[in-house]
């Protein structure tokens, strides 16, 4: 969002108004526990350093208090684990807490590149067969290339999709779109 605000203001009308999964979960978590006398501190571990800036945005604060209190990158977490000497093979397994019960399968894939797009595709597709979903996951939007492209058919309409990894690749894609060289109906950065 910050990238578009600073570099392509004309595209702001196309940016989703949905909060990121990090922001959604943190705000629900704080609301859920607000009725107890406990102070809730939300710490998010994210692969992207941009999440640190997202957590500081004013629109994600309630009475001046951010939904997400701290963000560490996965790389920082790895370093913390190494420095503390934790050896996972020596740690006693423990059940994961599920404060809100079982979640959807689509929610699990939000953390991978292309995961948000795949979750949207799963929602809009008429054919939700396992083979169709696997085809999208493995041949379409997941992966680590700079730009992944795919298309899906919903009814009689073909929807063109791009998943972009990294702001340099996003900038290149925006240039292609603005020059008329490319068109997409849905883009995940």
Q: Of 59, 84, 102, which one is at a domain's C-terminal end?
A: 102
Q: Are residues 48 and 76 in the same domain?
A: yes
Q: Are residues 31 and 50 in the same domain?
A: yes
Q: Of 72, 102, 132, which one is at a domain's C-terminal end?
A: 102
* pLDDT, tens only, 110-139: 666 777 777 777 777 765 555 455 555 444
Q: Of 69, 102, 135, which one is at a domain's C-terminal end?
A: 102
- The contacts of residue 142 (CB under 8 Å, 6+ apart) are 112, 113, 114, 115, 118, 148, 163
Q: Are residues 135 and 85 in the same domain?
A: no
Q: Are residues 144 and 70 in the same domain?
A: no
Segment holding 142, helix H or strand E: none
How far apart, in whole angstroms, are the C-alpha atoms of residue 65 and residue 29? 14
Structural contact between residues 186 and 152, judged by C-beta atoms closer than 8 angstroms: no
Q: Are residues 137 and 73 in the same domain?
A: no
Q: Are residues 20 and 86 in the same domain?
A: yes
Instruction: Out of 55-64, 74-83, 143-152, 174-183, pick the least confident.
Output: 143-152
Average of per-residue pLDDT values in the chain: 82
Q: Are residues 34 and 64 in the same domain?
A: yes
* More reliable by pLDDT, 141 or 84: 84
- Residue 57's domain spans which residues? 1-102
**Region at 57 (left for phi over 0; alpha for psi -120 to 50; beta for the rest):** beta
The pLDDT score that the predictor gives to residue 155 is 79
* More reliable by pLDDT, 140 or 29: 29
Q: Are residues 85 and 128 in the same domain?
A: no
Residue 48's CATH number = 3.40.50.1780
Q: Are residues 22 and 113 in the same domain?
A: no
Residue 117's CATH number = 3.40.950.10
How far apart, in whole angstroms, are the C-alpha atoms of residue 147 and residue 167? 11
Domain count, the chain: 2
């Amino acid at each position: 969002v910050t990238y578009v605000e600073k570099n392509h203001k004309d595209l702001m009308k196309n940016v989703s108004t949905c909060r990121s999964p990090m922001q959604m979960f943190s705000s629900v978590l704080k609301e859920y526990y607000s009725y107890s006398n406990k102070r809730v501190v939300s710490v998010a571990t994210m692969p992207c350093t941009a999440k640190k800036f997202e957590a500081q945005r004013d629109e994600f604060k309630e009475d001046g208090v951010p939904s997400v209190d701290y963000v560490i990158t996965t790389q920082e977490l790895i370093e913390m684990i190494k420095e503390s000497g934790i050896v996972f093979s020596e740690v006693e397994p423990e059940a994961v807490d599920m404060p809100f019960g079982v979640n959807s399968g689509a929610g699990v894939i939000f953390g991978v590149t292309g995961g948000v797009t795949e979750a949207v595709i799963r929602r809009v597709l008429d054919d939700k067969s396992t083979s169709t979903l696997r085809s999208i996951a493995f041949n379409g939007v997941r992966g680590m290339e700079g730009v992944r492209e795919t298309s899906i058919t919903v009814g009689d309409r073909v929807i063109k999709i791009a998943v972009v990894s990294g702001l340099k690749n996003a900038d290149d894609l925006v240039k292609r779109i603005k020059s008329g060289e490319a068109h997409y109906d849905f883009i995940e950065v």
